[in-house]
Amino acid sequence: MINVIHKNNLIDEMVIKNEEMEVHVLNMGCTIKNIFVKDKEDKERDVVLGYDDVLDYMCYDGYLGACVGRVANRIRHGRFTLDGKDYQLPINNGPNAIHGGLKGFSYRLFDYTLGDDLVDFSYLSPNGEEGYPGELDLHVIYRLEGSKLTIDYYAKTSKKTLINLTNHSYFNLNGKASPVGDHLLKVKASRYACVDGDGLVTGEIKDVKNTPFDFTKEKAIKEALKQDDSQIKIARGLDHPFLFDDKKDQVSLYSKDSGIVMTVSTSLPQAQIYTANYLDGRIGKYHEAMNAQEAVCVETQYMPDAIHLEKDPSVILSPEETYHEMTSYNFTIQ
């Protein structure tokens, strides 16, 4: 079942609901505003952070719940070269470009069509928008099936361009902004990428063994956060790409408080695991302050700054190709 709530002349809120779950999404930035899941006592909990007033999503940074792109994460100095032509993007994160620019997809209004259990968002990004070449025809499809929310991304371009899309939801399976250190995390990844003081990947890939980044077996997030480790210190917590060893069910997150387990499965090769280190106490839903390390993001994506680090960059999309990637979030009780 799908309902549309017209919030104002700009932003609509779609409610996708079945017997298992209820998901609220906005046509601004394809933003996930609420995910209501039943806990171990059969009570509903809203497991993503966000705002009560939809206009706040236009005013604040942080990308809470949004689809970010054209290119998620950071590009060194906002510069890249394609087919011998140099491009300069807006610098909006220290010395680098991040998450699609000053007005990336997270701040754009999408058209949409409705199905029985899905919302198909679409946006035509013009050639040159935020400095990126090519007209990009983008579809972001949210589908609810039982206890699983799936996001499918499709895109076509008129000329060679870069693309690296992700969803930037801030999850807290307790159902409110609260310290996330007691959440148990498992990541099927034996390697992680190092970052510098600006959060940009350095190109160095390390084995997780004997480091705070070893989540190959389930452990509390706080076990990593409390470690005297240079990478934990430089990022103020976890804010690193984890390179997957498996093709499905790569990440699981569990709250003993609620009994809720979230399993993330994706076609993408890695995820930036981010413990919301820069949340600043702003007021979110239910009039609760949202502070640092009170949520965790699982940003499935290609390698950040791949255009500079990879011989055949995964982020390049040519006109003869169709971009298609998928990420799903399945909620169960333990």
Residues designated as active site? 168, 299
| DSSP H helical ranges for the chain | 56-59, 221-225, 230-235, 306-309
Q: Which residues, 6 or more positions from 303, have their beta carbon under 8 angstroms from its beta carbon?
A: 193, 201, 241, 269, 270, 309, 310, 314, 315
Please tell me the total number of residues recorded for the chain in this structure: 334
Spatial distance between the Cα atoms of 17 and 290, rounded to a whole number of angstroms: 26
Q: Are 28 and 11 in contact (CB under 8 A)?
A: yes
Spatial distance between the Cα atoms of 180 and 202, rounded to a whole number of angstroms: 27
DSSP state, 105?
G
Q: How far is CA 199 from CA 75, 141, 272, 277, 317, in A?
A: 10, 29, 11, 11, 25
Half-sphere exposure of residue 180, counting CA atoms within 13 Å on the CB side?
Answer: 32
Q: Are 334 and 259 in contact (CB under 8 A)?
A: yes
53, exposed or middle or buried, with CB in 10 Å at 0-12, 13-18, 19+? exposed
